[in-house]
């Protein structure tokens, strides 16, 4: 595996960053997880736009243009001979001192890692997930804004730990007001009376690229999509529920906090959207070669 670091490529065992990099010391930086399918990078423009917006929000100037970043990413895939891959694109504040001051970090660092990923086994897509609500609340926007895809992921990790201790692979997170926001790594949707509902961005979610793609697919099927604030009660009485994310894609949820959703199996709308999403990933995207 060849890994891109600041314009150079290194073998996996030689790819290193400084212990003084503020991405390591403080989680000061931003990242994207991106997928390629069948020789095409899925929603590359949207991912890069979100990366640069996240960087702008934390006053981090990425030292290369979006066009140059795109070329670096495609070249990384080419050098690793990958057509179906997961790409981790990272921009750190760069090397500084042991203090917090970002002005002591004159040069941000860019890292691109391309590999394969399997987040969930196939049976979870066929039978659905069992998830629970965890005590860890989602960060408030005035603290670490969830709309910024930052390297500071401890909030999500603590939620994941609580889920693992309870024996589940994904968990539901609420905001400080008790409203449903998202899962530790995925956005959430539910179906009720023909409407597909998902939380709006202002309640404390990351505006997912896969989330937005699924909204578009649902609308093409003439399914009404509503972004609104809701509670766990709405999920408990839903007809269907599913999660979306770059790594997870579209995955059904059949039980939440021991409440069976619908009839306890992946629903028709969920299955249709899984099919449509797979079709979309195989037929659209930025060509690698």
Summarize the confidence of residues 271-286 as an average pLDDT.
Answer: 97
- Tell me if 198 is assigned to some domain: yes
Residue 133 shares a structural domain with residue 82: no
Residue 51 shares a structural domain with residue 129: no
Domain range spanning residue 188?
122-283
Residue 72 shares a structural domain with residue 159: no
**Does 149 qualify as catalytic in the annotation?**
yes
Residue 32 shares a structural domain with residue 154: no
Summarize the confidence of residues 43-65 as an average pLDDT.
Answer: 98
Residue 73 shares a structural domain with residue 189: no
Residue 187 shares a structural domain with residue 163: yes
| Domains contained in the chain, number | 2
The last residue of one of the domains, among 89, 115, 141, is: 115
Residue 141 shares a structural domain with residue 249: yes
Catalytic residue among 16, 43, 104, 149: 149
Q: Is the pLDDT of residue 34 over 90?
A: yes
pLDDT of residue 42: 98
- Tell me if 7 is assigned to some domain: yes
Q: Assign residue 221 the CATH number of its domain.
A: 3.20.10.10
Q: How far is CA 121 from the centre of its chain?
A: 18
Summarize the confidence of residues 254-265 as an average pLDDT.
Answer: 98
pLDDT of residue 181: 98
- Tell me if 151 is assigned to some domain: yes
Beta strand ranges found along 40-185 (DSSP E)? 40-41, 85-92, 109-115, 129-133, 171-174, 180-183
pLDDT of residue 289: 84
Summarize the confidence of residues 139-152 as an average pLDDT.
Answer: 95
Report the alpha-carbon distance of residue 190 to residue 214 in Å, rounded.
12
Residue 92 shares a structural domain with residue 180: no
Reported confidence tier of residue 118, pLDDT bands at 50, 70, 90: confident
Q: Is the pLDDT of residue 117 over 90?
A: no
Residue 136 shares a structural domain with residue 46: no
Residue 162 shares a structural domain with residue 266: yes
Residue 254 shares a structural domain with residue 130: yes
Q: How far is CA 260 from CA 130, 160, 236, 265, in A?
A: 9, 22, 7, 9
The last residue of one of the domains, among 115, 148, 172, is: 115
Reported confidence tier of residue 8, pLDDT bands at 50, 70, 90: very high
pLDDT of residue 81: 97
Q: Is the dihedral of CA 4, 10, 11, 16 positive or negative?
A: negative
Name the DSSP class of 24.
H
Q: Which residues share a beta bridge with 113?
A: 88
pLDDT of residue 240: 98
- Tell me if 288 is assigned to some domain: no
Query: Over the chain, what is the mean pLDDT?
Result: 97
Q: Assign residue 36 the CATH number of its domain.
A: 3.30.470.10
- Tell me if 255 is assigned to some domain: yes
- Tell me if 289 is assigned to some domain: no
Reported confidence tier of residue 254, pLDDT bands at 50, 70, 90: very high
Residue 88 shares a structural domain with residue 8: yes
The last residue of one of the domains, among 74, 96, 115, is: 115
Is residue 29 left, alpha or beta, with left meaning phi > 0 and alpha meaning psi from -120 to 50?
Answer: left
- Tell me if 248 is assigned to some domain: yes
- Tell me if 42 is assigned to some domain: yes
Q: Is the pLDDT of residue 119 over 90?
A: no
User: What pTM, to 2 d.p., does this model score?
Assistant: 0.96
Reported confidence tier of residue 152, pLDDT bands at 50, 70, 90: very high
């Amino acid at each position: 595996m060849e890994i891109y670091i600041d314009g150079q490529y290194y073998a996996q065992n030689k790819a290193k960053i400084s212990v003084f990099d503020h991405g390591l010391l403080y989680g000061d930086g931003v990242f994207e997880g991106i997928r390629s399918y069948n020789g095409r990078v899925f929603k590359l423009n949207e991912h890069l736009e979100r990366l640069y917006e996240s960087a702008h929000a934390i006053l981090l100037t990425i030292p290369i243009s979006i066009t140059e970043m795109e070329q670096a990413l495609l070249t990384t895939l080419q050098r690793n001979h990958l057509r179906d891959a997961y790409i981790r694109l990272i921009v750190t504040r760069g090397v500084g001192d042991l203090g917090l001051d970002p002005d002591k970090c004159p040069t941000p660092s860019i890292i691109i890692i391309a590999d394969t990923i399997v987040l969930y086994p196939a049976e979870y897509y066929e039978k659905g997930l069992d998830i629970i609500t965890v005590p860890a609340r989602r960060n408030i926007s005035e603290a670490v804004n969830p709309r910024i895809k930052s390297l500071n992921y401890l909030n999500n990790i603590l939620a994941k730990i609580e889920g693992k201790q309870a024996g589940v692979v994904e968990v539901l997170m609420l905001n400080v007001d008790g409203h449903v926001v998202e899962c530790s790594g995925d956005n959430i949707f539910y179906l009720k009376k023909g409407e597909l509902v998902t939380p709006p961005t202002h309640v404390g979610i990351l505006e997912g690229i896969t989330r937005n793609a699924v909204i578009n697919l649902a609308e093409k099927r003439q399914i009404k999509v509503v972004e609104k604030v809701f509670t766990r009660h709405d999920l408990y009485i839903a007809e269907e529920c599913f999660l979306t994310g770059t790594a997870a894609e579209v995955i059904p949820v059949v039980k939440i906090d021991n409440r069976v959703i619908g009839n306890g199996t992946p629903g028709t709308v969920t299955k249709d959207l899984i099919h449509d999403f797979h079709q979309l990933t195989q037929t659209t995207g930025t060509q690698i070669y």
